[in-house]
Structure 1
Amino acid sequence: MATTPTQIILDTPAIDFRLPATDGRTYTLDDIAGEKGTVIVFICNHCPYVKAVIDRLVADARVLMREGVGFATICSNDAATYAEDSFSNMKQFAQAHEFPFPYLHDETQSVARAYGAVCTPDFFGYDRDRKLKYRGRLDEGRTTPPPAGTRRELVEALRAIAITGVAPPGQTPSVGCSIKWKATQG
């Protein structure tokens, strides 16, 4: 079932984290933050929305990273329930799609909760001061490719934020599968 973020509070500061990545390193927000801004995207391996956008996401990340925007993806799904989202499968997914950015594992789900992430993919775009300026989508594609000539909304937004520091108006929230939360013990 498709889920869309409901709460967008611009200028919220990015939350620091320390998470292991598929490349064998551990990263903090400082490690991935870019000089002109930062994008953090919550994704997973099994979601049809992620699978449909992943190659465009990687291509757009390469563009933004060349322009001084830091980029990372985070998987927070419960791998006990969704084995395809296990850390070992994350490594394979990152290699298969040639991720040029860290793919981080949020096993405790604390980072997803701190950010208010609700779906995969869920995009958070920050300015150089690490204030939230974009909580939109990659583009208008969903589980099928977008129409020819579709705007590259994430790229356009982060370019504008890097130049002006201003959030673009009319941000369209991402749509995706809900994050697969662990059962709470009560």
Structure 2
Amino acid sequence: MAAVPPVCEFGWPAVDATLPGTDGKQHRIFDQAGPNGLVVAFICNHCPYVKAVIRRIVRDANDLKAHGIGFVAINANDAETYPEDSFDNMAAFAREHDFTFPYLHDADQTVARAYDAVCTPDFFGFNADLKLQYRGRLDASRKEEGAGDLRRDLYEAMVQVAETGKGPQDQIPSMGCSIKWKDAA
């Protein structure tokens, strides 16, 4: 069953943390911000919703750089229960899809809990002050990749954030597989 995150809580402050990346380095979330903002995306390797749009995620992350928006992806899924989401498989997934942004492993799931992440993909778009301005979908794709001419919801919202510091009032939530929480967490 698909999970749907809540609507955007405008002004909610981003949470910082340092996590290991698939490039073998430690990355601080706030260090990924551009001068006009930051997108924090919770994704994973096995989710059909993520697989359907991963090329578009990479495209939008790359295109947002020109607008001063940074991008970071985080996988918090329980890799013991879902081995396809292991750190080694994350590194292979990042290489396969030519990630140009850090793909971080939240093994203890504290960052996902701090963000109240619900599903993969779950996008958090912050302005230059790292205040939440967008919590919506990438586009209208679901478990299957949508048409090539779909409105780029995340991209357009973050361009608006880059230009005005504010996100759109009307946002359509993302939809995806629920975060795979550890039993003991």
TM-score (normalised: structure 1): 0.96
Matches within 5 A, 1:106-145: 106-145=106-145
Structure 1 SS opposite 2:51: helix
Matching residue of 1:150: 150
Matching residue of 1:88: 88
Instruction: Name the stretch that deviates more: 76-85 or 147-156.
Output: 147-156
Q: Deviations over 1:123-172 (max 9, x none)?
A: 00000000000000100011122234211111100000111112202100
Tell me by how many angstroms 1:184 deviates. Answer: 2.0
Amino acid at match of 1:107: A
| Alpha carbons 2:7, 2:171 under 8 Å: kept | no
Instruction: Find the aligned partners of 2:147 and 2:74 in 1 and give their Cα distance.
Output: 27
Amino acid at match of 2:25: R
| Alpha carbons 2:22, 2:94 under 8 Å: kept | yes
Q: Deviations over 1:44-100 (max 9, x none)?
A: 000000000100110111000232111000000000000000000000000000000
Structure 2 SS opposite 1:95: helix
Structure 2's unaligned 5+ residue stretches are: none
| Alpha carbons 2:77, 2:179 under 8 Å: kept | yes
Structure 2 SS opposite 1:3: coil
Matching residue of 2:27: 27
Instruction: Find the aligned partners of 1:118 and 1:140 in 2 and give their Cα distance.
Output: 18
Amino acid at match of 1:90: M
Matches within 5 A, 1:1-186: 1-6=1-6, 8-184=8-184
Instruction: Find the aligned partners of 2:149 and 2:58 in 1 and give their Cα distance.
Output: 18
| Alpha carbons 2:29, 2:72 under 8 Å: kept | no
Instruction: Find the aligned partners of 1:69 and 1:6 in 2 and give their Cα distance.
Output: 23
Instruction: Find the aligned partners of 2:80 and 2:11 in 1 and give their Cα distance.
Output: 35
Amino acid at match of 1:102: P
Instruction: Find the aligned partners of 2:148 and 2:92 in 1 and give their Cα distance.
Output: 30
TM-score (normalised: structure 2): 0.97
Same amino acid, percent of matched pairs: 56
> RMSD in angstroms over aligned alpha carbons?
1.1
4+ residue runs of structure 1 moved beyond 3 angstroms?
none
Instruction: Find the aligned partners of 2:102 and 2:149 in 1 and give their Cα distance.
Output: 29
Instruction: Find the aligned partners of 2:29 and 2:119 in 1 and give their Cα distance.
Output: 20
